[in-house]
Amino acid sequence: MYPQKRMRRLRRRRMLPLFAEHHLRTEQLIAPLFVDETAREPTPIPSMPGQFRYPPDEVVPVAARLDRAGIGAVLIFGIPADKDREASAAYDENGVVQQAVRRIRKSVPELAIITDVCACEYTDTGQCGIVGPCADGCMDLLNDPSLELMQRIAVSHARAGADIVAPSCMLDGMVQAIRAGLDDAGFCETLILSYSSKFASALYGPFREAADSACRFGDRKSYQINPANGREAFRESLTDAGEGADVLMVKPAGMYLDVIAAVRELGLPVAAYQVSGEYSMIRAAAKNGWIDERAVALESLIAIRRAGADLIITYFAEDAARWLQEAA
Protein backbone atom coordinates (compact mmCIF):
# COMPACT_ATOMS: atom_id res chain seq x y z
CA MET A 1 0.00 0.00 0.00
CA TYR A 2 0.93 3.69 -0.17
CA PRO A 3 3.57 5.00 0.32
CA GLN A 4 5.46 1.92 -0.88
CA LYS A 5 3.02 1.27 -3.74
CA ARG A 6 2.81 4.30 -6.02
CA MET A 7 0.75 3.92 -9.20
CA ARG A 8 2.10 7.17 -10.57
CA ARG A 9 5.53 5.58 -11.08
CA LEU A 10 4.13 3.99 -14.24
CA ARG A 11 2.98 7.37 -15.56
CA ARG A 12 6.29 9.18 -15.71
CA ARG A 13 6.70 10.62 -19.19
CA ARG A 14 9.41 8.21 -20.33
CA MET A 15 7.47 5.28 -18.89
CA LEU A 16 4.17 5.91 -20.72
CA PRO A 17 5.12 4.17 -24.02
CA LEU A 18 6.52 1.16 -22.16
CA PHE A 19 3.33 0.45 -20.28
CA ALA A 20 0.66 1.33 -22.85
CA GLU A 21 -1.73 -1.62 -22.84
CA HIS A 22 -3.18 -0.98 -26.30
CA HIS A 23 -1.83 0.58 -29.46
CA LEU A 24 -3.46 2.11 -32.51
CA ARG A 25 -1.84 1.28 -35.85
CA THR A 26 -2.73 2.54 -39.30
CA GLU A 27 -3.24 -0.96 -40.68
CA GLN A 28 -6.08 -1.45 -38.17
CA LEU A 29 -8.03 1.40 -39.78
CA ILE A 30 -10.56 1.05 -42.60
CA ALA A 31 -11.59 4.10 -44.61
CA PRO A 32 -15.14 4.31 -46.03
CA LEU A 33 -15.42 5.64 -49.59
CA PHE A 34 -18.62 6.96 -51.19
CA VAL A 35 -18.71 6.43 -54.95
CA ASP A 36 -21.42 8.34 -56.83
CA GLU A 37 -22.34 7.23 -60.33
CA THR A 38 -23.75 10.69 -61.15
CA ALA A 39 -20.86 12.78 -59.81
CA ARG A 40 -18.54 14.54 -62.22
CA GLU A 41 -16.05 15.65 -59.58
CA PRO A 42 -15.49 15.06 -55.86
CA THR A 43 -18.54 16.47 -54.08
CA PRO A 44 -18.27 17.57 -50.42
CA ILE A 45 -20.75 16.04 -47.96
CA PRO A 46 -22.06 19.00 -45.92
CA SER A 47 -22.88 17.06 -42.75
CA MET A 48 -19.53 15.22 -42.82
CA PRO A 49 -16.80 17.86 -43.23
CA GLY A 50 -13.76 16.46 -44.98
CA GLN A 51 -15.68 13.63 -46.67
CA PHE A 52 -16.68 13.47 -50.34
CA ARG A 53 -18.67 11.57 -52.91
CA TYR A 54 -16.28 10.49 -55.67
CA PRO A 55 -16.99 9.68 -59.32
CA PRO A 56 -16.07 6.07 -60.19
CA ASP A 57 -13.15 7.22 -62.33
CA GLU A 58 -11.63 9.24 -59.46
CA VAL A 59 -11.53 6.64 -56.72
CA VAL A 60 -8.13 5.27 -57.76
CA PRO A 61 -6.08 8.33 -56.69
CA VAL A 62 -7.92 8.36 -53.35
CA ALA A 63 -7.37 4.64 -52.82
CA ALA A 64 -3.70 4.99 -53.76
CA ARG A 65 -3.28 7.83 -51.27
CA LEU A 66 -4.89 5.76 -48.50
CA ASP A 67 -2.66 2.82 -49.38
CA ARG A 68 0.46 5.01 -49.14
CA ALA A 69 -0.76 6.21 -45.74
CA GLY A 70 -0.79 2.60 -44.53
CA ILE A 71 -4.58 2.30 -44.18
CA GLY A 72 -5.57 -1.36 -43.94
CA ALA A 73 -8.56 -1.36 -46.29
CA VAL A 74 -11.30 0.68 -47.92
CA LEU A 75 -15.02 0.05 -47.48
CA ILE A 76 -16.95 1.04 -50.60
CA PHE A 77 -20.51 2.39 -50.66
CA GLY A 78 -22.23 3.11 -53.98
CA ILE A 79 -24.75 5.74 -54.98
CA PRO A 80 -26.38 4.63 -58.28
CA ALA A 81 -27.88 6.79 -61.00
CA ASP A 82 -31.19 4.91 -60.82
CA LYS A 83 -33.17 3.20 -58.07
CA ASP A 84 -36.02 0.71 -58.31
CA ARG A 85 -38.08 -1.60 -56.10
CA GLU A 86 -35.79 -4.60 -56.78
CA ALA A 87 -32.44 -2.79 -56.25
CA SER A 88 -31.31 -4.08 -59.63
CA ALA A 89 -28.42 -1.61 -59.86
CA ALA A 90 -26.87 -3.19 -56.76
CA TYR A 91 -25.90 -6.38 -58.58
CA ASP A 92 -25.33 -4.94 -62.05
CA GLU A 93 -21.94 -6.14 -63.28
CA ASN A 94 -21.27 -2.60 -64.43
CA GLY A 95 -22.75 -1.00 -61.32
CA VAL A 96 -21.09 1.83 -59.46
CA VAL A 97 -19.46 -0.36 -56.78
CA GLN A 98 -18.39 -2.96 -59.30
CA GLN A 99 -16.71 -0.28 -61.43
CA ALA A 100 -14.90 1.15 -58.42
CA VAL A 101 -13.70 -2.26 -57.23
CA ARG A 102 -12.29 -3.20 -60.63
CA ARG A 103 -10.45 0.11 -60.95
CA ILE A 104 -8.92 -0.10 -57.48
CA ARG A 105 -8.04 -3.76 -57.83
CA LYS A 106 -6.18 -3.07 -61.09
CA SER A 107 -4.33 0.06 -59.97
CA VAL A 108 -3.80 -0.50 -56.22
CA PRO A 109 -3.47 -4.29 -56.07
CA GLU A 110 -2.15 -4.52 -52.49
CA LEU A 111 -5.00 -2.58 -50.90
CA ALA A 112 -7.72 -4.73 -49.31
CA ILE A 113 -11.19 -3.94 -50.68
CA ILE A 114 -14.38 -4.37 -48.65
CA THR A 115 -17.82 -3.76 -50.13
CA ASP A 116 -21.03 -2.97 -48.30
CA VAL A 117 -23.70 -5.52 -49.24
CA CYS A 118 -27.09 -3.91 -48.79
CA ALA A 119 -29.89 -2.43 -50.89
CA CYS A 120 -30.86 0.79 -49.10
CA GLU A 121 -28.90 2.97 -51.53
CA TYR A 122 -30.49 1.16 -54.49
CA THR A 123 -34.17 0.76 -53.62
CA ASP A 124 -36.73 3.46 -54.30
CA THR A 125 -38.12 2.74 -50.81
CA GLY A 126 -34.83 3.30 -48.99
CA GLN A 127 -35.34 -0.03 -47.23
CA CYS A 128 -32.53 -2.59 -47.12
CA GLY A 129 -34.16 -5.22 -49.30
CA ILE A 130 -37.39 -6.35 -50.91
CA VAL A 131 -40.47 -4.71 -49.40
CA GLY A 132 -43.97 -6.14 -49.19
CA PRO A 133 -46.97 -6.69 -46.88
CA CYS A 134 -46.19 -8.58 -43.68
CA ALA A 135 -48.48 -10.75 -41.57
CA ASP A 136 -50.00 -7.71 -39.88
CA GLY A 137 -50.70 -6.10 -43.25
CA CYS A 138 -48.07 -3.38 -42.89
CA MET A 139 -45.41 -2.85 -45.53
CA ASP A 140 -41.98 -3.84 -44.29
CA LEU A 141 -38.74 -5.52 -45.31
CA LEU A 142 -39.38 -9.14 -46.35
CA ASN A 143 -36.63 -11.28 -44.91
CA ASP A 144 -36.45 -14.44 -47.01
CA PRO A 145 -37.09 -12.88 -50.43
CA SER A 146 -34.29 -10.43 -49.68
CA LEU A 147 -31.71 -13.17 -49.03
CA GLU A 148 -31.41 -14.05 -52.71
CA LEU A 149 -30.88 -10.37 -53.48
CA MET A 150 -27.98 -10.23 -51.00
CA GLN A 151 -26.48 -13.33 -52.59
CA ARG A 152 -26.57 -11.68 -56.02
CA ILE A 153 -25.02 -8.46 -54.71
CA ALA A 154 -22.24 -10.26 -52.84
CA VAL A 155 -21.33 -12.49 -55.78
CA SER A 156 -21.21 -9.52 -58.15
CA HIS A 157 -18.84 -7.73 -55.78
CA ALA A 158 -16.61 -10.79 -55.44
CA ARG A 159 -16.57 -11.20 -59.21
CA ALA A 160 -15.40 -7.57 -59.55
CA GLY A 161 -12.50 -8.26 -57.18
CA ALA A 162 -13.65 -7.53 -53.62
CA ASP A 163 -11.63 -9.29 -50.93
CA ILE A 164 -14.34 -9.00 -48.30
CA VAL A 165 -18.11 -8.55 -48.58
CA ALA A 166 -19.87 -6.89 -45.66
CA PRO A 167 -23.64 -7.52 -45.38
CA SER A 168 -25.23 -4.70 -43.40
CA CYS A 169 -28.93 -5.43 -43.84
CA MET A 170 -29.42 -7.40 -40.58
CA LEU A 171 -31.50 -10.09 -42.26
CA ASP A 172 -31.96 -13.40 -40.48
CA GLY A 173 -29.84 -15.96 -42.33
CA MET A 174 -27.91 -13.41 -44.40
CA VAL A 175 -24.44 -14.82 -43.65
CA GLN A 176 -25.48 -18.39 -44.40
CA ALA A 177 -27.12 -17.35 -47.66
CA ILE A 178 -24.18 -15.23 -48.81
CA ARG A 179 -21.64 -17.92 -47.89
CA ALA A 180 -23.58 -20.46 -49.93
CA GLY A 181 -23.86 -18.06 -52.87
CA LEU A 182 -20.16 -17.21 -52.84
CA ASP A 183 -19.11 -20.84 -52.57
CA ASP A 184 -21.45 -21.95 -55.36
CA ALA A 185 -19.98 -19.22 -57.61
CA GLY A 186 -16.41 -20.31 -56.88
CA PHE A 187 -15.49 -17.53 -54.42
CA CYS A 188 -14.63 -19.75 -51.46
CA GLU A 189 -11.78 -17.43 -50.42
CA THR A 190 -13.91 -14.28 -50.23
CA LEU A 191 -14.37 -13.26 -46.60
CA ILE A 192 -17.64 -12.18 -44.98
CA LEU A 193 -17.47 -9.29 -42.53
CA SER A 194 -20.94 -9.32 -41.04
CA TYR A 195 -22.60 -6.25 -39.56
CA SER A 196 -23.63 -8.74 -36.91
CA SER A 197 -24.55 -6.37 -34.07
CA LYS A 198 -25.99 -3.31 -35.80
CA PHE A 199 -28.20 -1.06 -33.73
CA ALA A 200 -31.15 1.10 -34.75
CA SER A 201 -29.10 4.15 -33.83
CA ALA A 202 -29.84 7.84 -34.13
CA LEU A 203 -26.22 8.38 -35.19
CA TYR A 204 -26.63 7.44 -38.87
CA GLY A 205 -28.14 10.71 -40.11
CA PRO A 206 -25.07 12.15 -41.88
CA PHE A 207 -24.43 8.81 -43.60
CA ARG A 208 -27.95 8.70 -44.98
CA GLU A 209 -27.37 12.09 -46.53
CA ALA A 210 -24.01 10.97 -47.90
CA ALA A 211 -25.34 7.71 -49.37
CA ASP A 212 -28.84 8.95 -50.26
CA SER A 213 -30.24 6.01 -48.30
CA ALA A 214 -32.95 7.46 -46.08
CA CYS A 215 -36.19 5.46 -45.77
CA ARG A 216 -39.06 6.74 -47.92
CA PHE A 217 -41.48 5.30 -45.37
CA GLY A 218 -41.23 3.72 -41.94
CA ASP A 219 -37.88 2.95 -40.34
CA ARG A 220 -35.47 0.06 -39.81
CA LYS A 221 -36.40 -0.85 -36.26
CA SER A 222 -37.85 -4.21 -37.29
CA TYR A 223 -34.44 -5.44 -38.39
CA GLN A 224 -31.85 -3.38 -36.53
CA ILE A 225 -31.27 -3.91 -32.80
CA ASN A 226 -32.92 -1.88 -30.04
CA PRO A 227 -30.11 0.18 -28.41
CA ALA A 228 -31.32 -1.09 -25.02
CA ASN A 229 -30.57 -4.73 -25.87
CA GLY A 230 -27.00 -5.87 -25.27
CA ARG A 231 -27.79 -9.57 -24.86
CA GLU A 232 -29.75 -9.59 -28.11
CA ALA A 233 -26.78 -7.98 -29.86
CA PHE A 234 -24.51 -10.72 -28.56
CA ARG A 235 -26.93 -13.41 -29.78
CA GLU A 236 -26.99 -11.81 -33.23
CA SER A 237 -23.20 -12.00 -33.44
CA LEU A 238 -23.21 -15.54 -32.06
CA THR A 239 -25.69 -16.55 -34.76
CA ASP A 240 -23.63 -15.00 -37.55
CA ALA A 241 -20.50 -16.68 -36.24
CA GLY A 242 -22.34 -19.99 -36.44
CA GLU A 243 -23.43 -19.25 -40.02
CA GLY A 244 -19.83 -18.80 -41.14
CA ALA A 245 -18.92 -15.13 -40.71
CA ASP A 246 -15.18 -14.55 -40.84
CA VAL A 247 -15.31 -11.20 -39.02
CA LEU A 248 -18.01 -9.75 -36.75
CA MET A 249 -18.91 -6.07 -36.51
CA VAL A 250 -20.45 -3.82 -33.90
CA LYS A 251 -22.07 -0.63 -35.19
CA PRO A 252 -21.98 2.10 -33.87
CA ALA A 253 -18.77 1.86 -31.88
CA GLY A 254 -18.33 4.58 -29.27
CA MET A 255 -21.63 4.14 -27.40
CA TYR A 256 -21.47 0.33 -27.61
CA LEU A 257 -18.05 -0.49 -26.15
CA ASP A 258 -19.67 -3.05 -23.83
CA VAL A 259 -21.02 -4.92 -26.85
CA ILE A 260 -17.61 -4.87 -28.55
CA ALA A 261 -16.09 -6.39 -25.41
CA ALA A 262 -18.77 -9.09 -25.27
CA VAL A 263 -18.52 -10.00 -28.96
CA ARG A 264 -14.74 -10.23 -28.60
CA GLU A 265 -15.28 -13.30 -26.41
CA LEU A 266 -16.61 -15.26 -29.40
CA GLY A 267 -13.04 -15.61 -30.66
CA LEU A 268 -13.47 -14.20 -34.17
CA PRO A 269 -11.84 -10.97 -35.38
CA VAL A 270 -13.98 -7.99 -34.42
CA ALA A 271 -14.53 -4.79 -36.37
CA ALA A 272 -16.24 -1.69 -35.01
CA TYR A 273 -17.76 1.10 -37.08
CA GLN A 274 -17.24 4.64 -35.80
CA VAL A 275 -20.26 5.96 -37.64
CA SER A 276 -21.02 9.26 -39.33
CA GLY A 277 -22.73 10.84 -36.32
CA GLU A 278 -19.75 10.08 -34.09
CA TYR A 279 -17.40 11.61 -36.65
CA SER A 280 -19.55 14.68 -37.28
CA MET A 281 -20.05 15.43 -33.58
CA ILE A 282 -16.30 15.48 -32.99
CA ARG A 283 -15.75 17.63 -36.08
CA ALA A 284 -18.50 20.07 -35.13
CA ALA A 285 -17.32 20.45 -31.54
CA ALA A 286 -13.75 21.00 -32.73
CA LYS A 287 -14.89 23.61 -35.25
CA ASN A 288 -16.52 25.52 -32.41
CA GLY A 289 -13.32 25.39 -30.39
CA TRP A 290 -14.85 23.27 -27.63
CA ILE A 291 -12.47 20.29 -27.96
CA ASP A 292 -9.11 19.39 -29.46
CA GLU A 293 -10.11 17.41 -32.57
CA ARG A 294 -6.91 15.40 -32.87
CA ALA A 295 -6.79 14.46 -29.18
CA VAL A 296 -10.47 13.52 -28.98
CA ALA A 297 -10.49 11.57 -32.25
CA LEU A 298 -7.45 9.53 -31.24
CA GLU A 299 -8.85 8.98 -27.75
CA SER A 300 -12.11 7.71 -29.24
CA LEU A 301 -10.21 5.28 -31.49
CA ILE A 302 -7.99 3.90 -28.74
CA ALA A 303 -11.09 3.40 -26.58
CA ILE A 304 -12.59 1.25 -29.35
CA ARG A 305 -9.36 -0.74 -29.51
CA ARG A 306 -9.33 -1.10 -25.73
CA ALA A 307 -12.86 -2.52 -25.81
CA GLY A 308 -11.61 -5.30 -28.10
CA ALA A 309 -11.93 -4.21 -31.73
CA ASP A 310 -9.24 -5.53 -34.06
CA LEU A 311 -10.33 -3.25 -36.91
CA ILE A 312 -11.95 0.18 -36.85
CA ILE A 313 -13.98 1.62 -39.70
CA THR A 314 -13.67 5.37 -39.31
CA TYR A 315 -13.96 8.54 -41.34
CA PHE A 316 -10.92 9.74 -39.40
CA ALA A 317 -8.77 7.01 -40.98
CA GLU A 318 -6.61 9.24 -43.17
CA ASP A 319 -6.28 11.96 -40.53
CA ALA A 320 -5.48 9.40 -37.84
CA ALA A 321 -2.79 7.84 -40.04
CA ARG A 322 -1.16 11.25 -40.43
CA TRP A 323 -1.40 12.01 -36.71
CA LEU A 324 0.13 8.64 -35.80
CA GLN A 325 2.97 9.21 -38.23
CA GLU A 326 3.62 12.67 -36.81
CA ALA A 327 3.75 11.21 -33.31
CA ALA A 328 6.11 8.39 -34.24
Beta bridge partners of 238: none
DSSP E strands in the chain: the ranges are 29-36, 43-44, 52-54, 73-79, 112-117, 131-133, 139-141, 164-167, 191-198, 247-251, 270-274, 311-314
Q: Is 287 a catalytic residue?
A: no
C-alpha 51/C-alpha 211 separation (Å) is: 12
C-alpha 56/C-alpha 159 separation (Å) is: 17
Alpha-carbon distances of 155 from 73, 163, 165, rounded to whole Å:
19, 11, 9
Whether the CB-CB separation of 247 and 164 falls below 8 Å is answered with yes
Identity (one letter) of the amino acid at 172?
D
Q: Is 221 a catalytic residue?
A: no
Whether the CB-CB separation of 87 and 149 falls below 8 Å is answered with yes
Most distant CA atoms of the chain, gap in Å: 71
Q: Which of 83, 106, 198, 287 is catalytic?
A: 198
C-alpha 244/C-alpha 165 separation (Å) is: 13
For residues 289, 291, 293 and 298, what is the CA-based torsion angle, rounded to 10 degrees?
180
Q: Which of 5, 83, 251, 287 is catalytic?
A: 251
Catalytic positions, please?
198, 251
